[in-house]
Chains A and B, each alone.
Chain A
Amino acid sequence: DSGVTQTPKHLITATGQRVTLRCSPRSGDLSVYWYQQSLDQGLQFLIQYYNGEERAKGNILERFSAQQFPDLHSELNLSSLELGDSALYFCASDRGSGETQYFGPGTRLLVL
């Protein structure tokens, strides 16, 4: 158990809909990272938040957004969903100084 929690475990929705994925980092970690794992692209970095502020952006689509709240949990919002957004979404956390990132169990999103 990495100490990073993610909800929900599974999500099934339809094209055009909007969903919110939630992540709670390990105790003491200030940074949260979101990753997408799809069959053809592997694990891709989406976005990083550090202590409530956006710190780095990766391959995140404009339809996707995230935020980190004062209690340090983070939410990833995916809107206008397309079939190709079906993937595993992982959250990871660290102290924020470039130490090892620890990953949550992931949310499996299926868009029908």
Chain B
Amino acid sequence: DQQVKQNSPSLSVQEGRISILNCDYTNSMFDYFLWYKKYPAEGPTFLISISSIKDKNEDGRFTVFLNKSAKHLSLHIVPSQPGDSAVYFCAASVRRGGADGLTFGKGTHLIIQP
């Protein structure tokens, strides 16, 4: 049973436009959500996170939106740049009671077209 789902295996966006990556989750116990970016042959790199008590968090070109009632989060990248081409993973955890392992989606391959 996949608790974190990224339904788009790939997404192609023109340079300069907005990239929107989506993620759905089923476990209502999740209270912390993260986005990681991954290049081939490297480890995941942390991008941005959001706690379940917020609905938006912004960091430079990256904004994460959380809709708890829909169990949905999205990552917006504006403007998209060629270096943003990578696989993006959505992850979730239950932070109450201490740290725990992250549950990952299967990733979305973002391709930025020049």
Contacts and interface: CB of A to CB of B under 8 A. Distances in A.
Given A48-B100, A56-B100, A42 B43 contact: no
- Identify whether the interface residues of B are mostly helix, strand, loop, or mixed: loop
A34 to B, nearest CB: 9
B103 interface: yes
Interface stretch (A13-21, A64-72, A75-83, A94-102): A94-102
Interface string B4-40: 0000000000000000000000000000101010000
A106 B27 CA distance: 28
B23 to A, nearest CB: 13
Contact of B106 (A33, A42, A58): A42
A90 B100 contact: no
B88 interface: no
Contacts, number: 72
Interface in A26-53: 31, 33, 35, 42-48, 50
B45 A98 contact: no
B99 A55 contact: yes
A102 B46 contact: yes
Nearest to A6: B43
Contact of B43 (A31, A97, A100, A105): A105
Contact of B102 (A2, A45, A105): A45
A45 B103 contact: yes
B99 A98 contact: yes
B49 interface: yes
21 contacts: A2-B45, A4-B43, A35-B101, A42-B104, A42-B107, A43-B102, A44-B104, A45-B102, A45-B103, A48-B100, A55-B98, A55-B99, A55-B100, A94-B99, A98-B93, A98-B98, A98-B99, A100-B49, A101-B34, A102-B46, A103-B45
Sorted from nearest, which 8 A-B pairs have the closest CB atoms? Answer: A45-B101, A98-B95, A103-B43, A43-B104, A42-B106, A98-B99, A103-B44, A58-B101
